[in-house]
Chain A
Amino acid sequence: MTAALLAADEPLVRWDWVGDHTDEITELFWEHVTLTVVAVGIGFAISMVLALVATRWRWTYEPLAGFCSVLYAIPSLALFGILVAIPFFGLGFRTAEVALVGYTLLILLRNIVAGLDGVPPEVREAADGMGYEPWRRVLRVDLPLATPAIVAGLRIATVTTVGLVTVTALVGEGGFGDLINDGLSRDFSTPIVVGTVLSVALAIAFDLLFVVIERLLTPWTRDRTPRERSSGDVVASPLASAPAPAGGRL
């Protein structure tokens, strides 16, 4: 088999190309960030509402989580495909965002609910005893205490979304995914490498950002025993793991 088209002397990354295309790369960076932030933002808003509904009316949790689960299980490409087949959506920002938001729902919903559930009953009772109305209590007491779990969920959702955005390039909006796609269709390795490296870097950056946020918002978890510390920050929020239950991640 000859690899004549990728001659041994063809470099993996043509730096001159990178230099010539910094504008485009920057633009794609913002596109990637925007897609991610919008998706997680909307997903968070929806999940928050759903979570509050689920904690108030317990019986709704299973159906809601179940629905989100099934959604999550649908392979991303399949979900994009289905959306593209619906005339209202087709290709574009709307389609990308709907799919991206859909994938964040399960992660965020489960984490928020678990966080809220994790509030010790004694604290709730104390708050009620102090005269808090239910909704105010949720707002001023439960949610703040649920913060570690919520932030953990946001962290996972964000990192996962950054990865998914590379695929949304196929429906026309993909940030760094556009680079990867361009390289694939032209048999050109440079944009593929650049696109991959940058999207991984972005994901890690977001991850670190959330680690910092987690630390800032929950200073009381910084005091840990040596054993727990060695397991990393996961212990602080046992639900940092939360779900990658069914596949569909990419």
Chain B
Amino acid sequence: MTESLRQMWDYLSSDGAWSGRNGLPSLTWAHIRISVVAMLIASLVAVPAGVLLGHVRRGALAAVSIVNIGRAIPSFAIMALLLPFSLRYGFGLGFWPTVVALVLLAIPPIFTNTYTGVRGVPDEAVEAARGMGMRGGELVRKVEVPVAVPLIITGLRVSAVQVVATATLGALVAYRNLGTPIVTGFTSPDKGPLLAGALAVSLLALLTDGLFALAERRLVPWRSAAGRTADTGVAAEPPAPAEPAALAT
């Protein structure tokens, strides 16, 4: 083990680790880039869908099922599966199979949490708003979404961390990112780049989680991090009282 750590140290102190297309900065940037793109696309799809269905109070079954199904589909397999399609239709290797798989991965938590959040707005609040003359769009904008914000952010957070973690696998379909040194390191005697890559991506995942936690705290100061339990249709139940708040990350 110490041998491997020493290799990592050697690697990190070398020029190659910090420059060029195979250097850590370049790989990290590629990693962040694809994660952000995937999250944007997923949010653009999932948030409106979740708000809409939550508002009209339909689709509870979908909300639960989509997460269960999403959990059953291994992202690595999807990326691998998309590769021949991607090639056949001229989308090439690397980016497209990876980003599509990541989007599919990111949608369920965002959708379900958004749905649960909007759906869970107390009936009294909705009625009161209606009583004040609010309809449809206004109701959604001024009441439902703001109340749902905590859960939406939780959904985004869960998604984002999963995306950052899973983007690593893109290395296997030739999308060069922090996963690349890890994968090539499996079968190499030099574990330096592997450990460096593993460390970097773990930090990136934790950082992403931390950033969202911070956002949560800023935007929703009256809530503790207990909200994170609601990654699927918790059916508007508040987190179980026994659920310990604030986990380490």
Contacts and interface: CB of A to CB of B under 8 A. Distances in A.
| A touches B in complex, CB < 8 A | yes
Given A6-B88, A69-B249, A248 B76 contact: no
Contacts of A200: 72-74, 77
B163 interface: yes
A230 B236 CA distance: 13
Contact of B77 (A180, A231, A239, A241): A180
A117 B233 contact: no
Given A114-B243, A170-B186, A247-B163, A81 B209 contact: no
A143 interface: no
A245 B71 contact: no
Nearest to A248: B165
A78 B229 contact: no
Nearest to A72: B249
A121 to B, nearest CB: 10
- Interface centre among B63, B74, B88, B248, by most chain A C-beta atoms within 10 angstroms, is B74
Contacts of B191: 84-85
Interface residues of A, number: 78
Interface in B39-65: 60-61, 63-65
Contact of B158 (A3, A230, A244): A244
B195 A85 contact: yes
B237 interface: yes
Q: What DSSP secondary structure best describes chain B's contact surface?
A: helix
Given A77-B168, A85-B194, A235 B235 contact: yes
10 contacts: A75-B165, A78-B182, A82-B198, A85-B195, A118-B240, A177-B77, A239-B240, A244-B162, A247-B166, A250-B105
B247 A78 contact: no
Interface string B203-241: 001101100000000000000000011111111010010
Interface of A: 1, 3, 5-6, 8, 12, 61-62, 65-67, 69-70, 73-82, 84-88, 91, 113-114, 117-118, 156, 159-160, 162-164, 166-167, 170-171, 177, 180-181, 183-184, 189, 192-193, 195-196, 199-200, 203-204, 207, 228, 230-235, 238-250
B80 A183 contact: yes
Contact of A163 (B1, B74, B208): B74
A81 B178 CA distance: 12
A137 to B, nearest CB: 17
B90 interface: yes
Contact of B244 (A65, A167, A193): A65
Interface size class of B (residues with CB under 8 A): 35 or more
B71 A73 contact: no
A81 B198 CA distance: 7
A73 B205 contact: yes
Contacts of B199: 78
Contacts of B242: 113-114, 117-118
